[in-house]
Amino acid sequence: MSSRSKVAVILKGYPRLSETFIAQEILGLQTAGLDLELISLRHPTDTKRHPVHEEITAPVRYLPEYVHHEPRRCFDAWLKARRLPGYRKARQIWLNDLWRDRTRNRGRRFVQAMVAAIELGEDVGWLYGHFIHTPGSVTRYAAIMRELPFSISAHAKDIWTSPDWELSEKLDDAQWTVTCTKGGADHLGSLAANKGAVKLLYHGLDLTRFPAPGEEEIGSLNDGSTPDGTVRFLSVGRAVEKKGFDTLLQALSLLPTDLHWRWVHIAGGPLLAELKRQGDDLGISAKLEFLGSQAQSRVLQAYRECDIFVLPCRIASDGDRDGLPNVIVEAQSQGVPVISTPISGIPELIEDGANGLLIEPDQPEKLASAIDQLSRNPKRRRVMGQHGIDIVHQKFNAATEINQLIDLVRQV
């Protein structure tokens, strides 16, 4: 990096309970001594914060979410941005993008980029955008206006719901792009002129926050045969189509009547009320518990209290899909076997029959059979759980990921 050593990290929203992997990465960069400034396109909507957010001391700047919210700030930024050395080039790129994507959102991105470019300190030498869609656009426009290098971190929905032309052009303008699954890396690499500029970098976990339980603490011996031996299922994830929770509730309703079980869900999401209604309609609502969004400490407690983690992901109707959900890595770190689907990067952690079970999406009968099978076999769950811990420590240690990312940053 140049003598302008500060890194501006551009985020869609900050802080967010559902994006602990981003907060963890920011803290890692901060701990490594990088001087950071956080720039958020949206104000926070979560009322809680994770402990990791409290440890991040980098200042946060919030851009105007809508032009009409802060018209004077936006207008002043436009007046000043026109004098920036790369403004004309950025404006032409934006016009080309707008021609192919004639939306108000595209206009907001350029206005936010002008505000960011003007308000960035002179000591900023590099921009780093988390998510290749909206934040990636703002990062790209602002960096070009200021004639600064930039890089992008791509994840899941942003990869699979963005048009190829947009991904290709951003990849070619960025110094490098990191992504968290092999499937995502292969797809982006196929669109990049320089395939070597696309890096596979698993998120990993801060294993000091998710220490492995002792061998005797891995899983209960509950097998669901009696009320005292109720098997506890857990799902953590926003109530959205791609998570497949409607399929899960169907599967739970198909479990044999002699199996005693309880399911806990953690997170919010637009489909939460619909899932609760579905539980009522299926006659299983008494066995369901919706806790809403929770702090990381409560989520960790839930992992340690459950017997099986279930997340039957699918590809949504708009093409949205998960990469490798961080919650699956978290569950495995606590010795919890996972039942999921072979979507995107999930098989990069979950090996069917070894540390979990993989069922094709939208198959409630097969999902119910897998849940029933694993529920009645606590010894098998313990073996799977220990194998999951081993894999997480070998392949998903955040310290390794942060060191690789820092090496990339220092090469800019």
Q: Nearest CA to 388 among 327, 332, 328? A: 332
Tens of pLDDT, residues 396-406:
998 888 888 88
Residue 220's identity, in one-letter code, is S
Q: Where are the alpha helices (DSSP H) in 150-219?
A: 157-160, 164-173, 182-191
CATH of domain 215-395: 3.40.50.2000
Tens of pLDDT, residues 58-117:
999 999 999 999 999 999 999 999 999 999 999 999 999 999 999 999 999 999 999 999
Query: How far is residue 124's CA from residue 7's CA, in Å, rounded to a whole number?
Result: 6
339 neighbors 356 (Cβ within 8 angstroms): yes
- Which residues touch 323 (CB under 8 Å, ≥6 apart)? 155, 156, 159, 179, 180, 181, 183, 184, 344, 345
Same fold, 6-204+397-410 and 215-395: yes
Query: How far is residue 86's CA from residue 93's CA, in Å, rounded to a whole number?
Result: 11
pLDDT at 277: 98
Query: How far is residue 110's CA from residue 145's CA, in Å, rounded to a whole number?
Result: 11
The structural domains of the chain, with segments of one domain joined by +, span 6-204+397-410, 215-395
> For all residues of the chain together, what is the average pLDDT?
94
Query: How far is residue 374's CA from residue 381's CA, in Å, rounded to a whole number?
Result: 7
Three-state secondary structure call for residue 198:
strand
User: Could you identify the residue written with the tokens 């998903």?
Assistant: 396
Mean pLDDT for 138-155 is 97
pLDDT at 1: 46
Two structure tokens written together for 91: 């404006």
Per-position DSSP letters for 103-143, written without gaps between them: -HHHHHHHHHHHHHHHHS-TTEEEEEEESTTHHHHHHHHHH
Tens of pLDDT, residues 200-215:
998 888 898 899 998 7
Q: Is the N-terminal amide bond of 15 cis, ω within 30° of 0?
A: yes
Does the pLDDT value for residue 2 go beyond 50?
A: no
Q: Nearest CA to 37 among 28, 48, 26? A: 26
Label residues 340-362 b or e (16+ Cβ within 10 Å = b).
bbebbbbbbbbeeeebbbbbebe
pLDDT at 412: 67
pLDDT at 209: 87
Per CATH, domain 6-204+397-410 is 3.90.1170.50: no
Does the pLDDT value for residue 3 go beyond 60?
A: no
Residue 380 C-beta-side C-alpha neighbours within 13 Å:
16
Confidence of residue 362 (pLDDT cuts 50, 70, 90): very high
Q: What is the share, in percent, of the chain residues with pLDDT greater than 90?
A: 81
pTM of the model: 0.82
Does the pLDDT value for residue 226 go beyond 50?
A: yes
Tens of pLDDT, residues 29-42:
999 899 999 999 99
- Which residues touch 393 (CB under 8 Å, ≥6 apart)? 207, 212
